[in-house]
Amino acid sequence: MTALDDLPLRDDLRGKSPYGAPQLDVAVRLNTNEHAFAVPDGVVEAMGKALQVELAGLNRYPDRDAVALRTDLADYLGHGMTTANVWAANGSNEVQQQLLQAFGGPGRTALGFGPSYSMHPLLAAGTGTRWVGAFRDPDFGLTPAAAVAQIEEHQPDLIFLCSPNNPTGTALDPSVIDAVLAAAKGMVLVDEAYYEYARAGTRSALVLLPGHPRLVVTRTMSKAFGFAGGRLGYFAADPAVVDAVQLVRLPYHLSSLTQAAARAALSQRDAMLATVEAIKEQRDRIVATLRARGTEVADSDANFVLFATGGDQKVAWQAFLDRGVLIRDVGLAGWLRVTAGTETETSAFLTAAEEILP
């Protein structure tokens, strides 16, 4: 049997592990930040009709530039966005990979402030971009001064900001993004995958796009839209950035079925987003309940909560699993992350937490 080490793998990929979370058949799955509610029946029907129209034409390639979908996404975003400002791909991971292909690569550097989304350095590695893991404060915060100091030290070609941040859940203070934009020599990518769950008054980086041609704001339909299985991510930026990624994107990368289903979902956005407030309520319930019992918890603007275990997080993770509750060990010593689920799922987690956490 051939082993991975027997193959002529790139040296910089040796010893690495694929990204992914355990996919286990348990009663309560709260480990991958999926939206807890199923797609509403009316939206399922709309998607079905849209897909039916496309099926007879599957012998033809899809719209290579996904113009109609990008137009719908621009309308959803508002903020003066037009079709020319928006690009879409198979999840925000592919969007970010395309940005690294266009603006990163051998001899270039990308920087992110950890702990943050663990796919960012993997995407950098896949595109031959050197990754610099800058740091947040011990409380997971990030100040403008600290961010700028690390940017000035490393002079990266791309800067990744995650707001709300994964895995901590907290949105960045707007002053941090302002300071990073002022200090950056290259591209600044703000990952807003969880923005729809943010607490009231949280500013989106979309408001900063006018006058900042090197700013890119990435979003996804996997989270608040409950479209994780549909795989649709997108970004908003200056039209020149859209032109740049079209130099590296694969031809016909976004299937006609994905485009049709995503457009149907966007046309039913009110129904698709109707359960966001219910998720936010369960998130805030987790935060309040854990803090009331003395557990340290990070502020969350996302659909998940990072909490301290008071000991070995691996032991605590297994204890939750033994009780039928699957949550996420993100590799932070003494911390675990739980997705806010339905009221029933959240209750199951909190019951287990009462038994497990000190």
Q: What distances in angstroms separate CA 132 from CA 121, 126, 141, 144, 332, one per listed residue?
A: 8, 14, 18, 18, 18
Residues of the chain with pLDDT under 50: none
pLDDT of residue 23: 87
Claim to verify: residue 142 and residue 80 sit in the same structural domain: yes
Claim to verify: residue 19 and residue 61 sit in the same structural domain: no
Task: Point out the domain boundary residue: 271, 297, 313.
Answer: 271
Residue length of the chain: 358
Claim to verify: residue 258 and residue 282 sit in the same structural domain: no
Query: Distance between CA 3 and CA 71 in Å, rounded?
Result: 47
Claim to verify: residue 254 and residue 348 sit in the same structural domain: no
Claim to verify: residue 180 and residue 287 sit in the same structural domain: no
Which CATH number covers residue 236?
A: 3.40.640.10
Asked if residue 36 is part of any domain, the answer here is no
pLDDT of residue 19: 83
Let me know: does 168 contact 306? Beta carbons within 8 Å: yes
Query: Distance between CA 39 and CA 225 in Å, rounded?
Result: 8
Q: Find the domain containing 155 and state its range.
A: 41-271
Dmax over Cα atoms in the chain, in whole Å?
Answer: 60
Claim to verify: residue 143 and residue 25 sit in the same structural domain: no
Claim to verify: residue 262 and residue 147 sit in the same structural domain: yes
pLDDT of residue 17: 83
Claim to verify: residue 132 and residue 255 sit in the same structural domain: yes
Which CATH number covers residue 294?
A: 3.90.1150.10
Query: Distance between CA 161 and CA 205 in Å, rounded?
Result: 10
Residue 96: partners with Cβ closer than 8 Å, 6 or more residues away: 119, 120, 123, 189, 191, 218
Claim to verify: residue 116 and residue 153 sit in the same structural domain: yes
Claim to verify: residue 209 and residue 287 sit in the same structural domain: no
Asked if residue 286 is part of any domain, the answer here is yes
Task: Point out the domain boundary residue: 253, 271, 289.
Answer: 271
pLDDT of residue 39: 96
In total, how many domains does the chain have? 2
Claim to verify: residue 54 and residue 202 sit in the same structural domain: yes
pLDDT of residue 5: 87
pLDDT of residue 13: 87
Asked if residue 35 is part of any domain, the answer here is no
Claim to verify: residue 83 and residue 107 sit in the same structural domain: yes
Task: Point out the domain boundary residue: 219, 237, 271.
Answer: 271
- Closest by Cα among 197, 191, 15, 232 to 99: 191
Let me know: does 165 contact 337? Beta carbons within 8 Å: no
pLDDT of residue 79: 97
